[in-house]
Amino acid sequence: MRSRDRDRSFLLSIYSIVLLHSLALSASEYLISYRYTVKDAILYNETLSISHAMKKCDEKNTFTKEELVLENGGITNLQTIISKNTNEFIDYIHKLGMHIQHKDLTVNLQNASTTVLTLKTSCFKVDFNDTFVRIVPLK
């Protein structure tokens, strides 16, 4: 005869494995875009757009599997977390690749220049934990 206690511990271990896998797969997907405009060596405009992905993103990873880990301090709003860690986030998206557009114009010996850095809208998988947030590019 089998012991009922043994069956209970087996079922408990199966439930815990299923729970852990479902938690690991429950990372949210966000669409993030960034635009930074400099006119005549002065910051003119900076725009960071973050929104939940309405449908599942393709996991055809064109970027490297490099991830960004930021401390969250109990905050669950991605916009706030990125705002508090601006330098790390900008360095990270520079590694992913940004489109750079530069215009230089000289009229009557007056020089005017405009530089626009753009990260096209990209899908990121974001995993919130108790003390940190892990951001991985998907598409």
**pLDDT value at position 115?**
92
The token pair at 31 is 């669409």
Whether 96 is in a domain gets the answer: yes
Q: Could you give the angle at the alpha carbon of 83 between the alpha carbons of 125 and 31, nearest 5°? A: 30
Beta carbons within 8 Å of 50's beta carbon, 6+ residues apart: 30, 31, 32, 78, 79, 82
What is d(CA 123, CA 33) in angstroms, rounded to the nearest whole number? 9
**pLDDT value at position 52?**
87
Q: Which domain holds residue 68?
A: 27-137
The token pair at 85 is 């860690």
**pLDDT value at position 122?**
85
Whether 11 is in a domain gets the answer: no
Beta carbons within 8 Å of 3's beta carbon, 6+ residues apart: none
Q: Which amino acid does the sequence have at 84?
A: K
Whether 2 is in a domain gets the answer: no
What is d(CA 5, CA 114) in angstroms, rounded to the nearest whole number? 72
Counting the structural domains of the chain, the total is 1
**pLDDT value at position 120?**
85
- The beta strands (E) that lie in the chain are given as 28-39, 42-52, 68-71, 99-107, 110-128, 132-137
Whether 13 is in a domain gets the answer: no
**pLDDT value at position 7?**
60
Mean pLDDT by 10 residues, the chain (139 residues): 55 51 60 89 87 78 71 86 88 85 91 90 86 85
